Structure 1
């Protein structure tokens, strides 16, 4: 049966024992787990101390799933301190023989549990070096850390103890602040608005935890990480591993891959611009037609060449729809409808380094946000410089009249649109001058003006 032993130091360890096990043998197991000598262990069950070492657990009424409380105290009743029974041979005060447990071979699991307990005790001292060594020595703990705390995992695998200690300290301080707020909530006036907000937040977190626990129990597969869909192909005779992405509108290729495939000479820079999605990336231009070899088929496709792209090539929806491709996840193949060819998706071992689950070069969330912000600022600066150059080229007379009333940026009495329509389109990252120009061109039709603005934004 399985029982649980809890100590005054909040150490809890399970034991799988027989109901016919005598109490003195149970104390020996507790000594292995806790490190407390067996003759100093006092066990309590349901508030009653267990004093007779010769009674079995069944005789004490201990059943499967019960919990015992252990504390380090005086020796058993009936013995004086000077008569404490030795652990290695000899006779006890009442003439009962004692047992020598020093030669008992402790099972590997129990030894490992004891080792983990001592390591956890050392880690509780908040020593970053000890915690780091413990995590690096446990592959399962490291895997869970990568999934549940990517920021701390990156600091751990960076090799820098200072960075790991800094991130760990920040997270510990944040946790302490949350605990402080929770205690403040419990002691605050329940009718206080701030206390009600903290109570609502606590309820929300408990609901999230309950939802996560239910998911881990009934749908544990949702917490696994799936391998992305890649296929082998050739572009201009060069082997490339292409990522299949039905959520991408166009087929793209990195500038490095375009260099390797010798197609940079075909890039049309009139199609340069910026690709917006999870982040913002600069589009160098477009290659209008290139042959892709998949198995024995040669298919034509166009590419948008991105300046900074970790994947070599991404087959988007334009390519997949043109050739009527089917993603068959049951057979793990890509079926090309126009030719009937089938090609298998690659296993994880065949994927490029950036796509493997164990890859170390993936960007964390902070780096992605920072890179997106920097590129957005670069784009805004480029647009501002372009408008400034256009204004200076118009001459001083145009600037002086513009200060009075510039028709390009001012709604005139005969315009058939309002200021609210202009602001709504400007919120889509278009300049006021562009919005007013397109609205006038389509007599105030917002839908047609929006379509025209997006069409023109494809060209730099």
Structure 2
């Protein structure tokens, strides 16, 4: 067995909670979760970093009670202490013991992963940032709407709130109700078979699946993009409509809706919503999902 310098092995955090994901000054405030929560909420930048590095704790911070926040914080402290105790046992264990060798191999694996992440942070730091989502300005029934361009979405969707705001709820066909499952879960209350949307000086028709609790107003999916031969030109930062040649710019970060910003948190109730919809669907004949 080769000689290994175990003292140089950096014990990283778990895959979901990196070792550096706890907020600055946490150790000094371990006995006062309320003060820590207040400190974090007062700084949106710290909240944004916490959402990236420690989603579980960030979710408890933004949507949970103080008891939930304190419980998760305590659990993460205990996990860190267990990892440190494990490291200490490794340093004093018999290197020829089978279990010790498994622990050593696991720590080497974690150390390699940590080194890989540190190299990425040094040479490709932009991969740890947030990408500005692609939104454009358009009009629906004479009302301005910021539409999200998503070539990864199969269908074009609109929120029920947006449909009410632009006065087209009367066109919703509830026979197309169901459940939409993707990154999150949403209830489809129906479908609008044809709506005219204005992009710059062009008037284009598309259909919408109307979602009950969709946070973003409108999402232009692949069905609409392919029909009108749209081209997402990232070099010029524009959306080009192939059928007409019209070009419209993607919105700057300052012009994005709140749902598209890093400080937005709208996924905490997805699991509960999914359970609720599945329970209600048992009492309804038919329906569809996508």
Same fold (TM over 0.5): yes
Structure 1, 370-379 or 315-324: larger mean CA deviation: 370-379
Name whichever of 334-343 and 273-282 sits farther off.
273-282
Matched residue SS, 1:215:
helix
Q: Alpha-carbon deviation of 1:369?
A: 3.8
Give secondary structure in 2 for the equivalent of 1:242: strand
2:185 matches 1:274? no
Secondary structure at the aligned position of 1:232 is classed as strand
**Within the alignment, does 1:289 sit opposite 2:194 as a pair?**
yes
Contact 1:123 1:131 in 2 (8 A): no
Determine the structure 1 residue equivalent to 2:204: 299
Matched, 1:127 2:51: no
The aligned runs of 1:110-149 (5 Å cut-off) are: 123-124=27-28, 126-128=30-32, 131=36, 143-149=48-54
Distance in 2 between the 1:290 and 1:330 partners? Answer: 30
Larger radius of gyration: 1
User: Which of 359, 364, 368 is equivalent to 2:270?
Assistant: 368
Determine which structure has greater relative contact order: mean sequence separation of CA pairs < 8 Å that are 6+ residues apart, divided by chain length: 2
Q: Following the alignment from structure 2 to structure 1, what is the Cα–Cα distance between the partners of residues 171 and 47?
A: 46
Verify the 8 A CA contact 2:140 2:196 in the aligned structure 1.
yes
Match for residue 228 of structure 1 among 133, 156, 162? 133
Q: Decide whether aligned partners of structure 1 residues 278 and 197 sit closer, same or farther in structure 2, where only a CA change above 3 A counts.
A: farther
- 1:227, 1:357 within 8 Å by CA — same for their partners in 2? no
Partner residue in 2 for 1:13: none
Distance 1:356 1:378, change over 3 A: same
Check conservation: 1:271, 1:459, Cα contact below 8 A.
no
Equivalent pair of 1:128/1:164 in contact (CA under 8 Å): no
| Unaligned residue ranges in structure 1 (runs of 5+) | 1-118, 387-455
Give the counterpart of 1:255 among 151, 160, 185.
Answer: 160
Which of residues 353, 368, 388 is equivalent to 2:258?
353
Cα separation, 2, equivalents of 1:308 and 1:200: 47
Cα displacement (A) at 1:180: 2.5
- In structure 1, what is the Cα distance between the partners aligned to 2:131 and 2:202? 28
Matched, 1:218 2:123: yes
Question: Which of residues 245, 265, 268 is equivalent to 2:150?
Answer: 245
8 A contact 1:251–1:302 mirrored in 2: yes
Contact conserved, 1:249 with 1:317, CA < 8 A, in 2? Answer: yes
| Deviation for aligned residue 1:457 | 7.5
Instruction: Tell me if the contact between 1:274 and 1:280 (Cα under 8 Å) persists in the aligned partners.
Output: yes
Rounded Cα–Cα distance in structure 2 between residues aligned with 1:137 and 1:458: 44
Distance 2:46 2:254 in 1: 23
Distance of aligned partners of 1:158 and 1:340 in 2 relative to their CA distance in 1, 3 Å threshold: same
Task: Measure how far apart 1:127 and its partner are.
Answer: 3.4
Is contact 2:136–2:146 with CA below 8 Å preserved after alignment? Answer: yes
CA pair 344-209 structure 1, distance change in 2 beyond 3 A: same
Which digits, 9 at most, give the CA deviation of each residue in 1:150-179, with x for residues without a partner? 333454567965554333212101211222
Match of 1:392 in 2: none
Shift of 1:331: 1.4
For residues 370 and 133 of structure 1, what CA distance do their matches in structure 2 show? 27
Distance 1:266 1:137 in 2: 44
SS of residue in 1 equivalent to 2:30: coil
User: Which residue of 1 is the match for residue 7 of structure 2?
Assistant: none
| 8 A contact 1:270–1:459 mirrored in 2 | no
- Structure 2: gaps of 5 or more residues: 1-23
Whether contact under 8 Å (2:175, 2:287) holds in the other structure is: no
2:225 & 2:49 partners in 1: Cα distance?
Answer: 36
Q: Is the 8 A contact 1:280 1:376 kept in 2?
A: no
Q: Return the offset for 1:342.
A: 1.0
- Per mean C-alpha deviation after superposition, the further-off stretch among 212-221 and 349-358 is 349-358
User: Which of 188, 193, 198 is matched with 2:103 structurally?
Assistant: 198
State the 1:197 CA deviation: 3.8
2:8 corresponds to which residue? Answer: none
**Which of the numbers 214, 234, 237 marks the counterpart of 1:329?**
234
Q: Deviations over 1:386-414 (max 9, x none)?
A: 5xxxxxxxxxxxxxxxxxxxxxxxxxxxx
Q: RMSD of the alignment, in Å?
A: 3.1
Distance change >3 Å, CA 316–CA 214, structure 1 → 2: same
